[in-house]
């Protein structure tokens, strides 16, 4: 029975390039989060946190989906969304 169950479970397709990009994204998110937390003015800090939320959430979704499903069109699209959100944040907010 266990053999049948394990055979039915598909292996995740891995992408070393996407794994590297997710790792870089994690470092970028951690760095920007640290910079935002260093802002003294509470009101400005809150504004930056809100503006950074789409970047953070697209990164977290990407990381979670890649760990569960591996490389596919959805994880690739989420990575593109993360990059787009990051570019938008960087163009609108100075760090």
Query: How many angstroms separate the CA atoms of 85 and 56, rounded?
Result: 9
Average pLDDT rounded to a whole number, residues 68-76? 95
Using only C-alpha atoms, what is the Rg of the chain?
17
* Residue 15 confidence (pLDDT): 96
Residue whose token pair is 């479970």: 9
H/E element, 84: helix 73-92
**pLDDT value of position 9:** 53
From the list 73, 48, 74, 49, the residue with the least C-alpha distance to 61 is 74
**pLDDT value at position 34?**
98
Residue of higher predicted confidence among 91 and 4: 91
User: For residue 5, what pLDDT is reported?
Assistant: 42
The per-residue pLDDT for 10 is 63
With 0-12 / 13-18 / 19 or more C-beta atoms within 10 angstroms meaning exposed / middle / buried, residue 73 is exposed
Contact 18, 79 (CB under 8 A): yes
Global pTM value: 0.86
Return the bridge partners of 70, or none.
13
* pLDDT digit string, tens, across residues 19-47: 999 999 999 999 999 999 999 999 999 99
User: For position 11, what pLDDT does the model report?
Assistant: 75
Residue 4: the pLDDT is 43
């Amino acid at each position: 029975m266990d053999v049948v169950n394990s055979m039915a479970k598909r292996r995740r397709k891995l992408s070393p390039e996407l794994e590297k990009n997710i790792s870089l994204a994690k470092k970028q998110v951690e760095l920007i989060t640290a910079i935002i937390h260093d802002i003294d003015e509470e009101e400005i800090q809150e504004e930056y946190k809100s503006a950074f939320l789409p970047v953070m959430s697209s990164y977290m979704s990407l990381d979670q989906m890649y760990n569960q499903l591996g490389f596919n069109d959805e994880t690739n699209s989420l990575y593109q969304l993360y990059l787009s959100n990051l570019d938008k944040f960087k163009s609108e907010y100075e760090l």
